[in-house]
Amino acid sequence: MFHVRTIKGRMIWYNLCTISVIAVILSVSSYVTASKKAAEVAANSLNYHVESLADSYQNAYDEMVNIILNCTERGPFDLKRVGSMGTLQQRRAGLEYAELADNYCAVTSYGSYIQQLSIFSDQGVMVQSGGVHSSVDDWQRIFEASWFEAEAEKTMDRYFLELRAPVFFGEREPMLPIIHPITGTGGHQWAAVFLSPALFQDELEQNDNGNEIIAATYDGKRVASLREQEENRQENDELLAELLASGEESGMINRTVHGKESCLAWQISSKSGIIVMEVLDLEVLTQDRMLLFRTVMVIFVACLIIGVFLSALFGQQLQRPIDRLVGHIGRIAEGDFSQNPEIESGDEIGSVGKVVNDMSGQIEALMNQRLEDEKEKSSLELKMLQAQINPHFLYNTLDSIKWIAVIQKNSGIVKAVTALSRLLKNMAKGFHEKVTVEKELEFVKDYVTIEKLKYAELFDVQIQIDEEMLNKAMVVKLTLQPLIENAIFRGIEPSGKSGTILIHIFADEESLYLVVRDDGVGIPEEKMGGLLADSERLKGDRMSSIGMANVDRRIKLTYGEDYGLSIDSQVGKYTEITVKVPLEFEAYQEE
């Protein structure tokens, strides 16, 4: 089976070598590609996760800033209206402001994280809404806080958040205040929103992907963290300080973190100053690579085993039909042309066997067919000689009728028979040969002679040739006759009055133009587009098979798509058909 001198043995070895090479290439490329893709996917996933968290924090920050701007720069609050709450109007104003503050907290999707929304003045007037307990002296606590002036002086286009000690009664959780003075009130009034750090922690937990993540303010103070070990806090502080001092708002680098090769990604908000830092342990990818390597090796071994089994099976299945086919061909070589159904099957070798059976079965038939063809050839030659008698008989008969009419002095019959004889003689030669303009006009004159016998006074034909030399220009035979026929039967006859058909022939440097114009009923505009598109096919050398569309098609087939017919018409006035062909001259020899 494995003898390399036989086709079967060679095919088995070739299959094994091919499968082995393919398995090695696929295994190595799969491992390398998968490892590279795994690293890229992990890095992209890490970067995307950091960007997603940073965007969530930025959305929360933007909504808080929008609340402050609504309270301070768009004129909804003026605490002078509230005063000391002594009058009915002042109490109503206080209730309206309190309801408005509640609405501001309710419309934002982060309202549950607002500890307090406070609108207050240095005179002790205050309106508040939020999730913590409030007291009448909250304004004083805020106003007297050590950080109040620093927060109030920040601009809203770049308001860096900072963790501050709580000022509200009973609160121990630090807060992130945003404070801005109320404009247009003529007094010292401010609006302040106090955001809970729980917002940042909840976002981390909701988007947990198993890595260590830290969110901090621009000065490195943690707002939230996930999976941060206590022993790693100092190193993380140094990393945060390094990233904040780098001047880069975002990035991703590979470095040693906590004694392990890691991928570090970060993003800093240019408006809030919040930094998000995430650390990916690359040892996780190494474990994935080992698993991938074992999987690839299992696939490689499986491919080899399957390849050996399939090669042996394929060799066995291949040998038997080849042996039968070789034996049958040997019998054909000895002169036995009988068919053998066993060499036919549904595979490729079976197809060869079927061809061999068909070949052996047809050899004798071909020999017999050759004898029949020789007999039929003699018969066809006789029929061709007989077929040549018919047109000559018709021409001779018409010639006899013409001379009888001459003897009887009937000039009408003489003219008609002579014209018809020439028409039949020209048509018998076919429609695709080229003739001179002079010959084409003679053919038209013969046709007009016959038609005038029926329509004596209906139409008149005028011929205008700009240059005498154009008589020797070449055109495809039977180009003008269908156009004259169209002018008579579709132009002049339906008008009910006599008309004129003008044939105008002229040329430029490269093209010859044959124009047929009649003063008949014309063609409606909506019908002109379909006249040449409805192409007819030549079905033989018969007059009935030629129309305008067919003339256009024959010209295009002969000269190309740049040539052919064009139609211009106005209903009730005229129809003008222009034939464009290349200007060419050639000696014409009549057969």
Q: One digit per residue, pLDDT tens: the chain, 591 residues?
A: 445 556 566 666 777 777 777 777 776 666 666 666 767 778 888 899 999 999 999 999 999 999 999 888 877 888 888 877 778 888 888 888 888 888 888 888 898 899 999 998 888 888 888 888 888 888 888 988 999 999 999 998 899 999 999 988 888 889 999 999 988 766 788 999 999 999 999 999 998 888 999 999 999 999 999 999 999 999 999 999 999 998 899 999 988 998 888 899 999 999 999 999 999 887 776 655 565 666 767 777 777 777 777 766 766 666 677 777 778 787 777 767 677 777 777 666 667 777 777 777 777 677 667 767 666 654 554 344 334 434 544 555 555 565 666 666 666 666 666 766 666 666 555 545 789 999 999 889 888 887 887 776 788 999 999 999 999 999 988 899 889 989 998 999 998 889 999 999 999 989 999 999 999 999 998 888 778 875 444 333 333 334 788 888 888 888 999 999 999 999 999 999 999 999 999 764 443
Task: At 545, give phi and psi (nearest 5°).
Answer: -95, 5
The number of helices, as runs of H, and strands, as runs of E, in the chain is 13, 16
Scanning the structure block, which residue is given the tokens 């030549």?
Answer: 538
Query: How is residue 545 written in tokens?
Result: 């098979």
- Residues ≥6 apart with Cβ < 8 Å to 290: none
C-alpha distances (whole Å) from 150 to each of 159, 180, 197, 216, 360 are 11, 11, 20, 19, 106
Give the architecture (CATH level 2) of 410-582: 2-Layer Sandwich (3.30)
Residue 193 β-bridge partners: 117, 178
Closest CA to 353 of 381, 379, 322: 322
Distance CA 213, CA 226 (A): 5
CA distance 281 to 261: 6
Q: Angle, nearest 10°, between helix axes 7-72 and 198-206?
A: 160
**CA nearest neighbour of 559 among 516, 591, 512, 515:** 512
CATH number (3.30.450, 1.10.10, 2.30.30, 3.30.70) of 73-200 reads 3.30.450
Q: Provide the pLDDT for residue 371.
A: 67
DSSP state of 84: T
Beta-bridge partners for 585: 473
d(CA 503, CA 514): 7
Q: CA–CA separation, 256 vs 454, rounded Å?
A: 109
Whole-Å CA distances, 534 to 529, 531, 547, 548, 571: 9, 6, 10, 10, 21
Beta partners for residue 281, in sequence order: 262
pLDDT for 426: 60
Hunting for tokens 């798509």 — which residue is that? Answer: 561
CA-CA distance, 504 to 467, in Å (whole number)?
A: 11
Output the pLDDT for position 387: 43
Within this chain, domains 73-200 and 410-582 share the same CATH topology = no
The answer to whether 149 touches 156, Cβ cutoff 8 Å, is: no
- How far is residue 141's CA from residue 138's CA, in Å, rounded to a whole number? 5
Quick check: 379 and 387 in contact, CB under 8 A?
no
Q: What is the pLDDT of residue 348?
A: 67
Domain boundaries, the chain: 73-200, 341-393, 410-582
Confidence (pLDDT) at 543: 37
| Nearest C-alpha neighbor of 55 from the set 364, 268, 341, 368 | 268
SS3 content of the chain, % helix, strand, coil (to 5): 55, 20, 25
Tokens of 202: 């909840």
The pLDDT of residue 389 is 36
What distance in Å separates the CA atoms of residue 274 and residue 253, rounded to the nearest whole number?
19
Residues 6 or more apart whose CB falls under 8 angstroms from that of 538 comprise 431, 545, 546, 550, 554
